[in-house]
């Protein structure tokens, strides 16, 4: 008899940020592993592309266009949701700014997506009992702000450090209901988000060369880690941070 | 937007920016580094509401080259 501890068959998984990058790849990979997927994203066209790429069309996959900064969108999203076995919070944005230019406005714009709206969604899902007992929550954080501190990254790094801290508090509180909460801290992953106009291709290549495994990550590299944390293979894992960075933080 | 004002904003980023003028090849300055490059981009965004890219800074030799790059995006 062959067993697959990483299977997501019979599980319903919500992924935010599913319009692109890690969120999109996570939604697709979860469907390939047998999950029924709720794909949440801001951009209707790109979210539609993710939705069309989901496997298992006989399952009740759904897509929900949601601007995480709009409270009406949020309430509609929560009210439409089925009971979830997995929640993957990927929505995020980045601003590159040396510290003297890190204004309150810039902090607010990044924290709104990376921290406040992400944490608010998690709060509502938990409070309204949308996460099933035995469920798994995965927060996509970053090594920046936790293990690496690249120049110009103070705002993004602080938002992700705050998110990782919150993960641990939730892991402790949610354990009563056997709900696990973990984070993944990716290194530099080839997604639309890292096309930082402030950096030249040459600088990006130089940065890449610092990575022991000598390449940038692909969204799949992170999505596979998410699958592990969502699956029963990780049933005794909570409050941890899984570093997937090609060795960059060593 | 004037060149004089731009040079002043640019020079303000440096501790010893007193000698900087429009013709200064700024990457030869001892204070120049990758953080300065990011600071120039942030200053242009803050002062002129213009997004220049890392490649624009890389391609510029003098402060006036940068001024022209910003002016072209106004």
Q: pLDDT tens digits for A117-134?
A: 999 999 999 999 999 999
Looking at residue B30, its pLDDT comes to 94
User: Which chain B residues touch A100 with a CB distance below 8 Å?
Assistant: 39, 42
**Local structure of B3: helix, strand or coil:** helix
Distance in angstroms (rounded) separating the CA atoms of residues A101 and A132? 43
- How many domains does chain A contain in total? 1
Residue for token pair 């204004």: A103
Residue for token pair 């892991």: A171
Interface size A-B, in CB pairs within 8 Å, comes to: 39
Shortest Cα–Cα distance, B53 to chain A (Å)? 5
**Is residue A150 less than 8 Å (CB to CB) from chain B?**
no
Distance in angstroms (rounded) separating the CA atoms of residues B13 and A193? 28
Catalytic residue flag (residue A156): yes
Residue A4 counted as domain residue: no
Per-residue pLDDT of chain B (74 residues; tens, 9 = 90+): 899 999 999 999 999 998 999 999 999 999 999 899 999 999 999 999 999 988 999 999 999 999 999 999 98
Tell me: domain B3-71, CATH 1.10.1200.10, correct?
Answer: yes
Shortest Cα–Cα distance, B16 to chain A (Å)? 17
Nearest CB among A98, A101, A203 relative to B54 is that of A203
Domain boundaries, chain B: 3-71
Looking at residue A184, its pLDDT comes to 98
Spatial contact of B35 and B41, defined as CB atoms under 8 Å apart: no
- Bridge partners, B48 (sequence order): none
**Local structure of A64: helix, strand or coil:** strand
Residue A5 counted as domain residue: no
Residue A7 counted as domain residue: no
Distance in angstroms (rounded) separating the CA atoms of residues A74 and A77? 5
Spatial contact of A237 and A231, defined as CB atoms under 8 Å apart: no
Q: What is the pTM of this model?
A: 0.92
Domain that holds residue A64: 12-244
Q: What percent of chain A has pLDDT over 90?
A: 80
Residue A80 counted as domain residue: yes
Residue A35 counted as domain residue: yes
Nearest to A14 by CA among A141, A94, A124: A124
Q: Could you give the angle at the alpha carbon of A187 between the alpha carbons of A186 and A189, nearest 5°? A: 90
Helix (H) or strand (E) holding A10: none
**Local structure of A131: helix, strand or coil:** strand
| Sign for the pseudo-dihedral over CA of A147, A150, A154, A156 | negative
What CATH number is given to the structural domain containing A178? 3.40.50.720
Looking at residue A196, its pLDDT comes to 61
User: Which chain B residues touch A96 with a CB distance below 8 Å?
Assistant: 38, 41
Looking at residue A197, its pLDDT comes to 65
User: Which chain A residues touch B38 with a CB distance below 8 Å?
Assistant: 96-98, 151-152, 198
pLDDT beneath 50: ranges in chain A: none
């Amino acid at each position: 008899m062959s067993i697959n501890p990483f299977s997501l068959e019979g599980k319903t998984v919500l992924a935010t940020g599913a319009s692109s990058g890690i969120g999109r790849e996570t939604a697709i990979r979860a469907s390939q592993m047998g999950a029924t997927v709720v794909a949440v994203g801001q951009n209707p066209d790109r979210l539609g592309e993710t939705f069309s790429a989901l496997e298992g069309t006989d399952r009740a996959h759904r897509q929900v266009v949601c601007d995480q900064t709009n409270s009406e969108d949020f309430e509609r999203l929560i009210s439409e949701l089925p009971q979830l076995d997995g929640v993957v919070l990927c929505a995020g944005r980045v601003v590159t700014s040396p510290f003297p230019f890190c204004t309150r406005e810039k902090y607010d714009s990044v924290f709104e997506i990376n921290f406040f709206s992400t944490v608010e969604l998690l709060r509502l899902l938990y409070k309204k009992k949308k996460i099933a007992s035995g469920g798994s929550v995965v927060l996509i954080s970053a090594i920046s702000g936790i293990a690496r501190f690249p120049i110009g990254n103070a705002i993004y790094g602080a938002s992700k450090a705050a998110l990782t801290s919150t993960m641990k508090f939730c892991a402790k509180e949610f354990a009563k209901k056997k709900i696990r909460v973990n984070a993944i801290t990716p290194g530099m992953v080839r997604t639309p988000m890292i096309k930082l106009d402030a950096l030249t291709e040459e600088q990006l290549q130089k940065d890449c060369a610092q990575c022991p495994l000598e390449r940038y990550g692909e969204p799949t590299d992170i999505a596979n880690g998410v699958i592990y944390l969502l699956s029963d293979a990780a049933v005794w894992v909570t409050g941890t941070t899984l570093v997937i960075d090609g060795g960059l933080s060593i | 937007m004037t060149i004089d004002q731009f040079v002043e904003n640019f020079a303000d980023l440096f501790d010893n920016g007193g000698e900087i003028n429009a013709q200064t090849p700024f990457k030869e300055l001892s204070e120049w580094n990758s953080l300065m490059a990011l600071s120039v981009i942030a200053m242009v965004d803050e002062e002129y509401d213009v997004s220049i890219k890392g490649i624009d800074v890389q391609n510029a030799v003098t402060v006036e080259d940068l001024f022209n790059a910003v002016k072209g995006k106004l």
